[in-house]
Amino acid sequence: MRKYCIGLLGALTIATASAVEPGDKAPGFTLQNTKGEQVSLSDFKGKLVVLEWLNYDCPFVKKHYQSGNMPALQEKYTGKDVVWLAVNSNAEGKQGYLPAAELGERSKKEGSKATAVLLDTSGTVGKSYGAKTTPHMFVISKDGEIAYAGGIDDKKSTQSASLEGATNYVANALDALIAGKEVETPKAAPYGCGVKY
């Protein structure tokens, strides 16, 4: 119990610096999805793209999936021609890592509606973005720039009740970009469990 609490407290004191900042060109990548297919960021040129760093065993991620919040967001925005890529950068042998087939099955079980769930076992892509937590969210504009980077919302809690009244930065960024407006909050502190590189 003590170890778990220390880990949880540590998760809440994550540094806010990131490898990419709003306005930067999004680093390109090619990763394998859970079906064994290669997926490249360049495949989605001219589209809005969400990157969601993922670890289904993280209590913060559990909050968003078990409440249905994350699948509902994925479904809503992929229905508006947004590409949603969930990325698992946890290294093999570390908590949160799953091989492709198991990750695919777990994603179905969790109700994921992401366009694709990608494996970044080497951590190369996660580190290029400066992904520090699960979830850590990035929104990429149609011209390939980082439009938002940070936490999914402003409630740093593992409790589903915290979703009520939360400001969802990702939804706000997507709504603004879809409407051709500026993103009001392009950056916020990420929170969650540390990515297990």
pLDDT digits (tens, 9 = 90+) for 74-109: 999 999 999 999 999 999 999 999 999 999 999 999
Q: Which residue has the higher pLDDT, 190 or 15?
A: 190
Q: Where are any strands of DSSP class E within the chain?
A: 30-33, 38-40, 49-53, 83-88, 116-119, 133-134, 137-140, 146-150, 193-194
Minimum mean pLDDT range among 6-20, 82-96, 170-184: 6-20
CB 192 within 8 A of CB 133: yes
Alpha helices in the chain, H assignment, sequence order = 2-12, 59-66, 69-78, 100-109, 124-129, 169-178
Tell me the domains of the chain and their CATH numbers.
Answer: 2-16+25-194 (3.40.30.10)
Which pLDDT value is given to residue 19?
Answer: 84
- Token pair, residue 159, equals 């409790």
- pLDDT-based confidence at residue 12 (cuts at 50, 70, 90): very low
Kindly report, residue by residue over 178-192, the tens digit of the pLDDT: 999 999 999 999 999
Whole-angstrom CA distances from 133 to 41, 46, 165, 166 are 21, 27, 22, 19
Closest among 181, 162, 165 to 173, alpha carbons compared: 181
Under the banding of pLDDT at 50, 70 and 90, the label for residue 193 is: very high
Helices 69-78, 59-66: axis angle to 10 degrees equals 60
pLDDT of residue 76: 98
Q: What is the mean pLDDT of the chain?
A: 92
How many Cβ atoms sit within 10 Å of the Cβ of residue 15?
Answer: 9
| 5 has pLDDT over 70 | no
Q: What is the pLDDT of residue 9?
A: 36
